[in-house]
Chain A
Amino acid sequence: MSEPGAKGALRTYRYLITFYSTHYVMAAEGILASNVDPGEFRTVPTPRKISSECGFSIAARVSPERYHLEGVEGIYSIHTTNTKELAYEKIS
Chain B
Amino acid sequence: MKKYLDARELPCPKPLVLTKKLLQEDDCDGVTVRVDNVAAKENVSRFLTKQGFTDLTVTQEGEEFVISTSDEQLQIQPDEPQNASGNKTLFFTSNLLGSGDQELGALLMKGFIYTLTELEHRPNQLIFMNSAVRLACTGSQVLDDLRQIATSGTQLLVCGTCLDYYQLTEELQVGTISNMYSITEALLEAETMLKIT
Residues of A within 8 A of B (CB): 5-9, 22, 25-26, 42-45, 55-56
Interface flag for B34 (CB, 8 Å) = no
B115 to chain A, nearest CB (A): 6
Contacts of A56 in B (CB 8 A): 107, 111
Tell whether A26 pairs with B107 under 8 Å between CB atoms, given A5-B119, A9-B145, A9-B148.
yes
Tell whether A43 pairs with B148 under 8 Å between CB atoms, given A5-B119, A7-B118.
no
B95 to chain A, nearest CB (A): 16
Interface flag for B114 (CB, 8 Å) = yes
A22 to chain B, nearest CB (A): 7
Select which of B103, B114, B120 is within 8 A of A45 by beta carbon. Answer: B114
Select which of B111, B119, B120, B148 is within 8 A of A44 by beta carbon. Answer: B111
Per DSSP, are chain A's interface residues mostly helix, strand or loop, or mixed? Answer: mixed
A68 to chain B, nearest CB (A): 21
Q: Are B104 and A7 in contact (CB under 8 A)?
A: no
Q: Are A5 and B107 in contact (CB under 8 A)?
A: no
Tell whether A6 pairs with B111 under 8 Å between CB atoms, given A22-B104, A26-B103.
no
Q: Are B107 and A7 in contact (CB under 8 A)?
A: no
Complex-state Cα separation, A55 to B104, whole angstroms? 12
B148 to chain A, nearest CB (A): 7
Tell whether A6 pairs with B110 under 8 Å between CB atoms, given A22-B104, A26-B103.
no
In this complex, what residue of B is CB-closest to A5?
B118
B24 to chain A, nearest CB (A): 36
Q: Are A22 and B119 in contact (CB under 8 A)?
A: no
B93-125 residues with Cβ-Cβ distance < 8 A to A are 103-104, 107, 110-111, 114-115, 117-120
Contacts of B120 in A (CB 8 A): 5
Q: Are A25 and B107 in contact (CB under 8 A)?
A: yes
List the 4 closest pairs (A to B, CB-CB), nearest first: A45-B111, A7-B118, A5-B118, A44-B114
